[in-house]
Amino acid sequence: MANVDVVNMSGEKVGSIELADALFGPDQVNEALLWEAVKHYRASLRQGTADTKSRTEVAGSGKKLWKQKGTGRARIGSVRSPLWRHGYTVHGPQPRSYDYAFPRKKLLGALRSALAAKLADGKLTVVDSLELKEPKTKLYRAALDKLEVTRTALLVENGKTLTQNLLLGARNLHGVELVLNNEVHPYDLLRYERAIFSAAALEQLTEMLEKNASKRNTGRKLAAATEAA
Same domain, 117 and 87: no
Work out how many domains the chain is built from and give that number. Answer: 2
Q: Residue 121 is part of a domain; what is its CATH number?
A: 3.40.1370.10
Which of 19-28, 91-100, 160-169, 203-212 shows the lowest mean pLDDT across its residues?
19-28
- Residues 177-229 pLDDT 10s: 999 988 899 999 999 999 999 998 998 888 888 887 666 555 554 455 555 55
Whether 112 and 214 share a structural domain? yes
Tell me if 111 sits within 8 A of 209, measured CB to CB: yes
Both 63 and 155 in one domain: the answer is no
Which pLDDT value is given to residue 13? Answer: 87
Sorted by sequence, the CB contacts under 8 Å of residue 13 that are 6+ apart come out as 5, 6, 7
Residues 172 and 203 in one domain: yes
Q: What integer is the mean pLDDT of 92-103?
A: 93
One domain for residues 25 and 117: yes
Q: Please give the pLDDT value at position 228.
A: 56
Please indicate, yes or no, whether residues 173 and 215 belong to a single structural domain of this protein: yes
Strands 2-7 and 13-19 turn out to be antiparallel
Give yes or no: residues 13 and 28 share one domain.
Answer: yes
pLDDT digit string, tens, across residues 2-57: 788 898 888 888 888 888 877 887 778 899 999 999 999 999 999 999 999 998 89
pLDDT of amino acid 132: 86
Q: Which domain holds residue 134?
A: 2-46+102-228
Q: What's the pLDDT at 10?
A: 86
**Does residue 28 share a domain with residue 130?**
yes
CA distance 226 to 229: 5
- Strand 176-180 and strand 13-19: pairing? unpaired
Count of residues for the chain? 229
The pLDDT tens digits for 51-76 are 999 988 999 888 899 999 999 999 98
Return the number of other C-beta atoms located less than 10 Å from residue 218's C-beta: 10
SS3 198: strand
Gyration radius (Cα) of the chain, Å: 28
Confidence at residue 17, expressed as pLDDT on a 0 to 100 scale: 86
Per-residue confidence (pLDDT) for residue 215, from 0 to 100: 61
Average pLDDT over residues 158-177: 86
CA–CA dist 212, 35 (Å, integer)? 21
